[in-house]
Every structure is written in structure tokens, then in C-alpha cells.
Structure 1
Amino acid sequence: MNGNQFGRLFRVTTYGESHGPAMGVTVSGCPAGLELSAEDVQRELDRRKPGQSMITTSRDEPDAVEIQSGIQDGYTTGTPIGMVIQNKDARSGKYEPFVTAPRPSHGDFTYSAKFGTRNWGGGGRSSARETVNWVAAGAIAGKVLDRFGVRVKAHVNQIGDVRAPEVSFEGMLEHTEENPVRCADPETAEEMLEVIERYQGEGDSIGGSIYFEARGVPRGLGAPRFDSVPARLGAAMMAVPAATAFEFGLGRGARSVSGHERNEDWTLDTDGDPVPVGNDHGGIQGGITTGEPIYGEVTLHAPTSIPKEQTTVDWETGEEKRVQVIGRHDPVLPPRGVPVVEAMLNLTILDFMLLGGRINPDRLDDRPGEYDTDYHPSSPLNEEREE
């Protein structure tokens, strides 16, 4: 099976199934000299782990991380960082009715059709539990970015038909973690909670969206076409389980805005460099960062595991039957999806900064800002220039 790696220079490789012995991730390309502990990673894992509130799955997983390599005396050594998170509360028995009868809108049949087999316990590799690896890796990327003045934050901006008003970056930092919905507007969070609880009481689920923002990203990251920032950031966000849409800047709102309205004039900043007036472009023009905040939104559909009765068919016997997906599942995904979206944003931005030579890929002993060049020989994007 391919598709288990993410990134070019900051490369993440994951393994594990929902009901297997453990989840695991290897991070290659983290520069030496980063102060790092298990507590740094655990802090982010605790935001994603199950059982946080009544609107999350009751699966009792501590998600305790073990760092097994790449650290010496509390600092990264430049070698691969291996991390393991044990599965402690897997219960596969309730999935036995679906071994040859796919759950509606899951990957059960598509996996089996492709590989001829699958780990059916808890959805196996296709389970959103696999994102625990992404958050662990994203925690490391976030620590590197913090050293260089890049900050990332997200919050739940819509559940069902309830949409939050615009919230400032500082507001997200201050209020997102204050409620179980992870909406940075407290009043809207209460409305969202009522919606979630209503669907949960009906044995159903509901979708929503996550707004994200990155501050301090330097201008000049990315490349045209297939290595553009939106192309690779879109790939990162659309990999998030249940993602059905990715937008940045005006997003889908751009379809009803004229060119004159969207176009932004140029002015000079205090250093005499051109800067756009406004940021409808979401910090990206021509696929390359402008230095303005990067912002956007990811839509997640309603969880597909619901106790409402649905219809499936056994592909071995041909029997059609009514089923209920009984188990421990989230009634809504965005609240636990916030740290996942932040992790993928961290990973994508850090990889671009390494590729663009903005960070020494070997060691972090130089102070932030001193390694700010447009070219570094370790970048695979510079192979033609070296020739």
C-alpha cells in the first residue's frame, strides 16, 4: 500500500490500524538542535484524543506517546524521530457483522475490492484514528515553526446551519479551547452544542467546517503549478478523513466577486517592498506566499458511523439486510479535527520553508532569521539550478 508518506524534506511516514496493537510515525528531516520532549507532543495529542466530552467517542484511549529515537539529552539529533502510541481500548467484536457487508459510506468495500483483504476491526487503516500520527508529527513541526515566528491556529466555524461570525486570530488563540466544540465564539459554541446534541439524541450525526490561519509565513514560499502552496496545502487538507472541500482566501465566495473587487492594489511597506492592500488572496498569489496571513477553511462531512438503521448487502451471499453501526463513534468531527488541521498546516509550511532554504535542514544553532536565503543546495527544487 502506497500513500503512507507526507512531505519532501520534512517527511512523515505512518503505520498502524484502528484496532491493531499500536499507531506509529517516523519523522525524517527534523533539523538537529530542537529542544523536544514527549510532553511537547503529548500536549497536542491530548487535544485530539477520544473521550474528551459527551460529543466525542467514549473510546478510552490515553494516546500516550513514546519517543523511541532521534532525541539525545532533550534535543533532536537530526536522525529519524520514531514515535509510538499504543492502542489500549480496541473492541473489534461489534464489527464482525460487516466483514463482508460494508457499512454505508465507509471504505469497507473499496478497500476489499482493491486489496482483496482488509483489517476490518474499527475500519483498520481507513479509520480516522490514524490521524493520531499526524498530530504527533505536527507537534514537532509546530515547535520548529514557533522558533521562526510562524504561528498556526484553527477553530470550528460551522456546525450544520450554525455559522460563527468572523473571529480574530487573537480570539482563536484565547477562546478555542474554552468549550468542547472548539468554536472561538462562545455564544455560537452554545448553539453548535445544541445542534450536535440534537442529532446525537436522534442517533444521527452532523457535518461542519474548520477555519484555519497561519501568521508569520515568509513571502516567496512555493512554486508555480504542481508545487504551489495551495496545491500542496489542498492535498494535505483533503487527506483529512471526511474532508469534502478545501478553500483559501475568498474560496467559493470568489465565484460571485468581480475581478475589480477581488484585485488588490499594491503599496510599499516600511522596507520599501511592494505589499498588497488587503488579503482576499489568502496570503498566496501565483501559488507563492505573499507574507500576508494564510487562511482558509476545510469542510468535514457528518460521521458515517451512526446507530440509525441503514441498508447494506453481503457481497458473498448477495443478501440485503438492515443494519445498525453500533459502537463508540463521534456525532461530529470538527471539534477533534481542529488539531488535525493545525498539524497538516504545520507540516506543509515547514516543508516549504525547508525546501526554500528558509531553515537550515541540518541544524538549528543559527538564530531565527539569519538563515533567510532563497537558495539552499539541500532543496530538491534547486536541482536544475545546480546543473
Structure 2
Amino acid sequence: MFNSFGNILRLTSFGESHGKGIGGVIDGFPAGITIDEEFIQNELDRRKPGQSRLTTARKESDKVEFLSGIFEGKTTGCPIGFIVWNTNQHSNDYNNLKEVFRPSHADFTYHNKYGVRDHRGGGRSSARETVSRVVAGSLAKLALKQLGIEITAYTSQVGPIKLDKSYSEYDFSEIEKNDVRCPDPQKAEEMDALIYKIKGEGNTIGGTVSCVVKGTPIGLGEPVFGKLHAALGNAMLSINAVKGFEYGQGFRNLEQTGKEQNDIFFENQGKIDFKSNNSGGIQGGISNGQDIYFRVAFKPVATILMEQETVTVEGKDTVLKARGRHDSCVLPRAVPIVEAMTALTILDFYLINKTTYL
């Protein structure tokens, strides 16, 4: 039940970090969508480990194998099954974790909830589970492209280094030109240097990913418990290491008054338009046709390659120094995951809107 995401468009994922593979079943996907396998693989390549000096050294090809729901290059409307096989597990790197709890990790809660846990890389709690989200999200992107909806995410902050201008002032073509996936080349260099320094210390650092959705039609979102921003928040907060979500102005400019914050309507060549977009493209929980924009806060990765005090499963004090291959900053690889979860949410709510209203 809780390994599934979505309403009409529904992804059910399965698999663990050091199991045989990661996969999923996508139900409710529209028929007739042309499948661009090169695009899907490129999305997986943006997420996969080992892509730069800033990421974990784990080497995975992350080649997706579709099992059902696609015929002659198009979706059939039937459930789409897929699998990505794990090929580069170093499970022995985690043997020292079998009898201890890693600080700020899921070890303690999983052990107490289920009475058993997979200590090899975190098992189901590992961010490797997001492979299934990126596969499903890339399919959703292909469908949304036909509707003229475009989703772009980027790294907007690493530690104290952050972008200080509106998203509209950046050239999004710069995002994939650097390892950090930041649209500001100068800030990208600073972020890169900071992450590399932190990695050399065996430590980790967090930051934010920003996302912009262009071309969303008016009317996506349902009162009162199906608000679009609440669904996006749910999607983002389900991603590993996410600690916060804000859309529109969010927590910024809270010192301003309603008069300063309100998005004023005006007539523009016979159509109703807005003078600003402080609402972030969503009003009353429903999309208003403007760009949707939001930010997602990621904590520093919990696994650090430094000695930390902890306890054993019996509750005895001990000292742990983790081994293995880990990200020092999750942000560059999180960018395609944020886009994927956004695409799944937007397409799901588009389908809800189509079935609810004529």
C-alpha cells in the first residue's frame, strides 16, 4: 500500500539497494504515448552513481528493461512493468554496520518497527530506490511534453552558497554543463569546490533544489484535501534526505504585507493576466496557469566517513566509522529525481482533471 504513489497514475516500486534489482509497475498510464528509450536512459544517467568526481564511486549502468505495457514503441494503456538490475554491489563494505545503528539514518526506526533490517546500504531506505521514480517520471515527462508542459529542476544552494536571483533570470541551458547542475556558472564552480572539499574530509553537506513547471493549464488541483501544492509537497518529502518544501515565495519575504504579496490581475490584450507570481502558480490549491515554482531542502547525507559515537543494537555505547561508497552531497543526483516526482504528480492531476470535469 505505502510502496505506491499516485491516484489515477500510480507507481508501485520494489527492490533494495543490495538486492537483485530495482523495479516497478506503472498503472493508469495513457495509451498511445511514443516511448523514447534514449530519453529515458539519459534521465537514468543523470541520476546514476559514478557520473562525476562529486558523486559516489559505485558504478551502475542502470539500464532499464521494460517487461510489459509497451507495443511497437507506444504505450498500450496496460500496466507498464520494468526492472533495473543491480550489478555493482559491495555488500561486504557494510558488514561493520550489522550490529550498530548509524546516526540520523533509518537503521534504528526500521529495526524497531519491523524487528529486522537490511544493513547493506540501507536496503529499502536507500536512495537507490529512486531509480524506479526516475523511470516512471521519464515516461510522465514524455506524456507531458505532448501537452506542452515542461519541468526543469536545478541545484540552487549548497551549504552557504546560493543563487540570489529569480529563476527567470537564469539560462537553464547552463544546468547540464556542470557537475553540480546549477544554471549560474560562477556559483557552480564555488559549489563544486565546496562539495569536493567536504568529500575529501569524509563529511557531507546539503542544500536546495529548485524546480520550475512551465505550461501547466489552469485547473489542476482539488479542494480541499487534494490541493496541488500539498500533492507536490508530499511527492518531494517522500524523497530520501528531503527536509523541507516551499512553493512560491514560501518562507521568503514574510515581512511583506498582503498588499505587497498579492498577485494583481490586469487585462492584457483581451485576456486576464497577472502582474506578479508570488503565489508560485497555485492559488486555492489549484493551478492558475502561471509558472509553478518551488524549492526542496535536502539535509547532508547521514552516512559520513568519519568516526561517530553511536550504540549497538543491544544499546551499548560504541564508535562507528562507516565504509563503502557514498555521496558527499546528494543535490546533483537529486535534480532528476525532483523532476521525476514533479512529472508524476502533474500528470496524475491532469488525468484527475480530465476524468472529473468535461
Deviation of residue 195 (structure 1)? 0.9
Provide the C-alpha distance between the structure 1 equivalents of 2:227 and 2:234, rounded to a whole number of angstroms: 11
Q: What CA deviation, in whole Å up to 9, does each residue of 1:38-95 have, x standing for no partner?
A: 3232110010000001110000100010011111111111101111000001111122
Aligned residue number for residue 364 of structure 1: none
Contact 1:303 1:332 in 2 (8 A): yes
Aligned residue number for residue 306 of structure 2: 308
Q: Does 1:329 align with 2:323?
A: no
Letter in 1 for 2:357: Y
Letter in 1 for 2:260: E
Aligned residue number for residue 132 of structure 2: 133
Deviation of residue 169 (structure 1)? 5.3
Contact 1:155 1:172 in 2 (8 A): no
Provide the C-alpha distance between the structure 2 equivalents of 1:72 and 1:159, rounded to a whole number of angstroms: 43
Aligned residue number for residue 278 of structure 1: 276
Deviation of residue 269 (structure 1)? 3.8
Provide the C-alpha distance between the structure 2 equivalents of 1:114 and 1:37, rounded to a whole number of angstroms: 41
SS of 2:105 mapped into structure 1? coil
Deviation of residue 197 (structure 1)? 1.4
Provide the C-alpha distance between the structure 2 equivalents of 1:266 and 1:32, rounded to a whole number of angstroms: 38
Letter in 1 for 2:338: V
Provide the C-alpha distance between the structure 2 equivalents of 1:285 and 1:276, rounded to a whole number of angstroms: 12
Deviation of residue 165 (structure 1)? 3.4
Aligned residue number for residue 85 of structure 2: 86
Provide the C-alpha distance between the structure 2 equivalents of 1:117 and 1:34, rounded to a whole number of angstroms: 42
Q: Does 1:341 align with 2:299?
A: no
Deviation of residue 201 (structure 1)? 1.5
SS of 2:197 mapped into structure 1? helix
Provide the C-alpha distance between the structure 1 equivalents of 2:99 and 2:270, rounded to a whole number of angstroms: 65
For these two proteins, the number of residue pairs brought into alignment is 358
Provide the C-alpha distance between the structure 1 equivalents of 2:288 and 2:247, rounded to a whole number of angstroms: 14
Contact 1:234 1:246 in 2 (8 A): yes
Provide the C-alpha distance between the structure 2 equivalents of 1:101 and 1:297, rounded to a whole number of angstroms: 34
Unaligned runs of 5+ in 1: 362-373, 377-387
Q: What TM-score do the two structures reach when normalised by structure 2?
A: 0.97
Letter in 2 for 1:341: V
Letter in 1 for 2:20: P
Deviation of residue 203 (structure 1)? 1.3
Letter in 2 for 1:65: V
CA-atom RMSD, angstroms?
1.4
Give the fraction of aligned pairs with identical amino acids, expressed as a percent. Answer: 44
Provide the C-alpha distance between the structure 1 equivalents of 2:154 and 2:337, rounded to a whole number of angstroms: 11
Q: What TM-score do the two structures reach when normalised by structure 1?
A: 0.90
Contact 1:169 1:213 in 2 (8 A): no
Provide the C-alpha distance between the structure 1 equivalents of 2:175 and 2:24, rounded to a whole number of angstroms: 27
Letter in 1 for 2:287: T
Letter in 1 for 2:335: V
Contact 1:233 1:345 in 2 (8 A): yes
Letter in 2 for 1:18: S
Deviation of residue 118 (structure 1)? 1.7
Deviation of residue 268 (structure 1)? 2.5
Provide the C-alpha distance between the structure 1 equivalents of 2:100 and 2:310, rounded to a whole number of angstroms: 6
Provide the C-alpha distance between the structure 2 equivalents of 1:271 and 1:145, rounded to a whole number of angstroms: 28
Aligned residue number for residue 20 of structure 1: 19
SS of 1:82 mapped into structure 2? strand
Provide the C-alpha distance between the structure 1 equivalents of 2:206 and 2:13, rounded to a whole number of angstroms: 27
Contact 1:167 1:184 in 2 (8 A): no
Deviation of residue 168 (structure 1)? 4.3
Aligned residue number for residue 95 of structure 1: 94
Deviation of residue 322 (structure 1)? 0.9
User: Which stretch shows the higher mean deviation, 38-47 or 73-82?
Assistant: 38-47
Aligned residue number for residue 161 of structure 1: 160
Deviation of residue 277 (structure 1)? 1.8
User: Which stretch shows the higher mean deviation, 204-213 or 251-260?
Assistant: 251-260
Contact 1:153 1:214 in 2 (8 A): yes
Deviation of residue 170 (structure 1)? 8.5
Q: Within 5 Å, which residues of 2 pair with 1:10-159?
A: 10-159=9-158
Q: What CA deviation, in whole Å up to 9, does each residue of 1:298-333 have, x standing for no partner?
A: 0100111111100111122x3211111111000001
Contact 1:38 1:66 in 2 (8 A): no
Contact 1:153 1:172 in 2 (8 A): no
SS of 2:278 mapped into structure 1? coil
User: Which stretch shows the higher mean deviation, 135-144 or 262-271?
Assistant: 262-271
Q: Within 5 Å, which residues of 2 pair with 1:201-212?
A: 201-212=200-211
Aligned residue number for residue 294 of structure 1: 292
Q: Within 5 Å, which residues of 2 pair with 1:246-261?
A: 246-261=245-260
Letter in 2 for 1:375: Y
Provide the C-alpha distance between the structure 2 equivalents of 1:232 and 1:199, rounded to a whole number of angstroms: 34
Deviation of residue 20 (structure 1)? 0.1
Aligned residue number for residue 357 of structure 2: 375
